């Protein structure tokens, strides 16, 4: 299945030859594919308060961006694009498309963004800091690709547009075609017909994001506290001079902050398993259904990871009994598991609680 998706390449060969190195175009990667959601349903999602969406319109050299909720369709017949993030939270077809790329670690998969474009529509020439797989639904789109370089940006534009963009290659894609674009490569997609494109994006946490999150984690864990005292203080002849006593106090206290490899592991598992800000789980009442004839399926919004003896679920971390770890790891890897298997592992109450909070579902086996 992966070989067809990747143009005859195995996942290993793709990762060695193309991943973060050079683009890959696969014709008919998904034969018969026309998209993951109807146009009307996509616009209905964009009108919701709990969905991240944007409308990008172009008039000559002028660009306009409107953030959702978007409760009316644009009037123009050309040069506009609707973009809706995390459609996999609302469409089973979009979630299935995202899971086709699970040869990439789950911690790197982000979401499926769907764009509907009128003829001439697009978001302009730009580059991303993350990998993206562009799967063409209905309609045709022309992609223009440029090698990584020190791109200059158009000043004052509402989007990060590349100034003076010049393409090295062009690809005309049709329904079912796939284009992989590594981070840093300039690209511009122009709709030739009314068309839908599904962008399977990767998570690529920046250093400043990790640093800020880790400092929050250390603060939550508890930082050393020590009152500042400066007995014997002499009168100051330079009141604005930073005092050596308080400076030394700050150095000593900050030097007491310690963290271990386990702290980094726990933080990262919690950080990368935290759902998107717009993820909303629907709580349910208690259910008395037996797990014997049920399949436990993770909700599309749920992020579940594991490492060593720890399991991370939607930003929470816990260490389950060793007898349960194998069953939980299998559930995380496959995103579904036999209810009877989980029950035998002593996880019946855990499944029930997660079902009630909406992080997993129960389907008939």
Concatenate the DSSP letters of all residues of 188-205 into one string.
EEEESSSEEEEEEEE---
Q: Average pLDDT, whole number, for the chain?
A: 93
Which of 81, 46, 78 lies closest to 65 in space, CA to CA?
81
Q: At what angle do helices 261-273 and 207-221 cross, to 10 degrees?
A: 110
Confidence of residue 358 (pLDDT cuts 50, 70, 90): very high
**pLDDT confidence of residue 53:** 96
Give the global pTM: 0.89
Other C-beta atoms closer than 10 Å to the C-beta of 195 total: 25
Is the predicted pLDDT of residue 291 greater than 90, yes or no? no
Task: Specify which residues 186 forms β-bridges with.
Answer: 146
Residue 363 in tokens: 């389907």
Is the predicted pLDDT of residue 232 greater than 90, yes or no? no
Confidence of residue 221 (pLDDT cuts 50, 70, 90): confident
Confidence of residue 124 (pLDDT cuts 50, 70, 90): very high
The 10s digit of each residue's pLDDT in 33-68 is: 999 999 999 999 999 998 999 999 998 889 999 998
**Beta-sheet strand order (sheet of 316-318):** 304-307, 310-313, 316-318
**pLDDT confidence of residue 19:** 97
The 10s digit of each residue's pLDDT in 296-328 is: 999 999 999 999 999 999 999 999 999 999 999
Classify domain 2-202 by CATH architecture.
Sandwich (2.60)
Is the predicted pLDDT of residue 233 greater than 90, yes or no? no
Q: What are phi and psi of 328, to 5 degrees?
A: -70, -40
283: helix, coil or strand?
Answer: coil
Whole-angstrom Cα distance, residue 107 to residue 263? 18
As annotated, the residues of the chain forming the CATH 3.40.366.30 domain(s) are 252-365
Instruction: Please work out, in degrees rounded to the nearest 5, the angle formed at the alpha carbon of residue 88 by the alpha carbons of 84 and 93.
Output: 115
As annotated, the residues of the chain forming the CATH 2.60.120.650 domain(s) are 2-202
**pLDDT confidence of residue 72:** 86
Is the predicted pLDDT of residue 239 greater than 80, yes or no? yes
Q: For strands 195-202 and 360-364, give the pairing.
A: unpaired
Confidence of residue 2 (pLDDT cuts 50, 70, 90): confident
Is the predicted pLDDT of residue 288 greater than 70, yes or no? no
Confidence of residue 222 (pLDDT cuts 50, 70, 90): confident
Is the predicted pLDDT of residue 274 greater than 80, yes or no? yes
Is the predicted pLDDT of residue 245 greater than 70, yes or no? yes
Q: Which long-range contacts (CB under 8 A, 24 or more apart) does 238-244 make?
A: none
Confidence of residue 122 (pLDDT cuts 50, 70, 90): very high
Class at the top of the CATH hierarchy for domain 252-365: alpha beta
């Amino acid at each position: 299945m992966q070989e067809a998706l990747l143009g005859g390449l195995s996942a290993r060969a793709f990762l060695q030859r193309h991943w973060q190195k050079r683009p890959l175009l696969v014709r008919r990667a998904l034969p018969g594919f026309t998209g993951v959601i109807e146009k009307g349903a996509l616009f209905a999602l964009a009108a919701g308060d709990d969905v991240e969406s944007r409308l990008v319109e172009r008039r000559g050299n002028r660009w306009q961006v409107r953030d959702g909720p978007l409760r009316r369709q644009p009037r123009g017949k050309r040069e506009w694009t609707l973009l809706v993030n995390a459609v996999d939270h609302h469409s089973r077809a979009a979630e299935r498309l995202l899971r086709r790329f699970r040869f990439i670690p789950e911690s790197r998969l982000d979401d499926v963004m769907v764009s509907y474009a009128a003829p001439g529509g697009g978001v302009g020439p730009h580059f991303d800091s993350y990998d993206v797989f562009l799967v063409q639904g209905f309609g045709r789109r022309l992609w223009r690709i440029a090698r990584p370089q020190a791109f200059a940006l158009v000043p004052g534009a509402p989007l990060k547009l590349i100034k003076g963009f010049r393409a090295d290659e062009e690809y005309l894609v049709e329904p079912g075609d796939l284009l992989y674009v590594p981070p840093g490569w300039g690209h511009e997609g122009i709709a030739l017909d009314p068309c839908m494109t599904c962008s399977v994006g990767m998570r690529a946490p920046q250093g400043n994001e990790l640093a800020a999150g880790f400092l929050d984690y250390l603060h939550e864990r508890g930082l050393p506290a020590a009152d500042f005292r400066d007995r014997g203080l002499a009168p100051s002849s330079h009141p604005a001079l930073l005092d050596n006593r308080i400076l030394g106090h700050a150095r000593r206290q900050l030097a007491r902050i310690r963290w271990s490899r386990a702290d980094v592991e726990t933080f990262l598992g919690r950080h990368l398993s935290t759902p998107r800000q717009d993820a909303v789980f629907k709580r349910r009442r208690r259910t008395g259904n037996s797990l014997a004839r049920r399949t436990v399926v993770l909700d599309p919004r749920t992020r579940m990871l594991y490492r060593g003896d720890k399991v991370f679920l939607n930003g929470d971390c816990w260490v389950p009994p060793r007898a349960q770890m194998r069953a939980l790891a299998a559930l995380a890897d496959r995103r579904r598991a036999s209810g009877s298997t989980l029950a035998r592992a002593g996880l019946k109450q855990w499944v029930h609680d997660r079902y009630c909070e909406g992080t997993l579902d129960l389907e008939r086996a």
